[in-house]
Amino acid sequence: MSEARKHILGAVRRSLKREQPTAEERRHLEARLADPQAGLIPARGRRPHGEQLDLMEEMLVELSATVARLPGEEAVPQAVSDYLKGENLPPKLRLAPRDDLRGLPWDSQPLLEVAEGIAEEPDSTSLTGAFAGIAETGTLMMASGPEAPITLNFLPENHIVVLRASQVVGAYEEAWTQLRRRFGAGVLPRAVNMITGPSRTGDIEQTIQLGAHGPRRLHVLLIEDGPGAAADETQTPAAGNGQAD
């Protein structure tokens, strides 16, 4: 442990009037970390998967996001073009550098300008994947890594997310369990972001304003990939431990 970390944790312990944990307390804490127990999961998070998909869409719409349900990933480029046209947005897209996204039939949309990489100041629209969708609250879990730069989640005013039906879970506990399973014991992404609808604030005269601290619009392309399909965030544990900015 670094000296700076020792100093910080020591200050926290002193403020809480706690001493160093005993060997028995440390064993108990390590056992809890090795086998985390789920908390109480609301009934809405325990619905059958088909109903979870409907709940995910319902919650997203309630949160001022928009949703398009697609029969397969090959429909994504057309859906993106339709969305940009419908919102009167420039036909330009900053794509997360993932094999599954770059492999989509973008050439079917010759008027759409597609670039990939981290978000830059002029970018108006980004397209990313998600690690999971949490139906309980309509929340997207985003795990950072070289193939998932977090700037794409926050810098452009318009954020399009490709979410597969197999990635939708009922409750937060399930999403965290999948994250631990994907990256391995003791290894987590550098950042995990929870996105619940477009960015908003009510600080100004108690009036809700969209786009205050991030995207003004959130559009989710929910792909029906079948009950047997596995969620694929195309990140390895090694990649997830870093982050492109």
Q: Region of 9 please: left (phi>0), alpha (psi -120 to 50) or beta.
A: alpha
**Residue 228: its pLDDT value, please?**
45
Tens-place pLDDT, residues 33-69? 778 777 788 888 899 999 999 999 999 999 999 999 9
Same domain assignment for residues 191 and 222: yes
Within a 10 A sphere around the Cβ of 186, how many other Cβ atoms? 8
**CATH code: domain of residue 140:** 3.40.50.10420
Query: What integer pLDDT is reported at residue 245 of this predicted model?
Result: 43
CA angle at residue 102 from 195 to 134, to 5 degrees? 25
Q: What angle do CA 143, 147, 150 make, to 5 degrees?
A: 50
215 and 157 in contact (C-beta within 8 Å)?
yes
Q: Rounded to 5 degrees, what are φ and ψ at 179? A: -65, -45
Percentage of the chain exceeding pLDDT 70: 85
Whether 108 and 132 share a structural domain: yes
Task: Please report the pLDDT score of residue 69 as a whole number.
Answer: 98
Which 8-state DSSP code applies to residue 105? -
CA 81 – CA 90 distance, rounded (Å):
10
- For residues 223 and 96, give the distance between their C-alpha atoms in angstroms, rounded to a whole number: 17
- 42 part of a folded domain: no
pLDDT in tens, 128-165: 999 999 999 999 999 999 999 999 999 999 999 999 99
Q: Tell me, yes or no, whether 31 and 51 share the same domain.
A: no
Arithmetic mean of pLDDT, 214-228:
85
122 & 63 share domain: yes
pLDDT value for 198: 85
> Which residues form the domain of 18?
1-35
**Which of 183, 214, 165 is closest to 67 using CA atoms?**
165
Residues 2 and 92 in one domain: no
pTM confidence score: 0.81
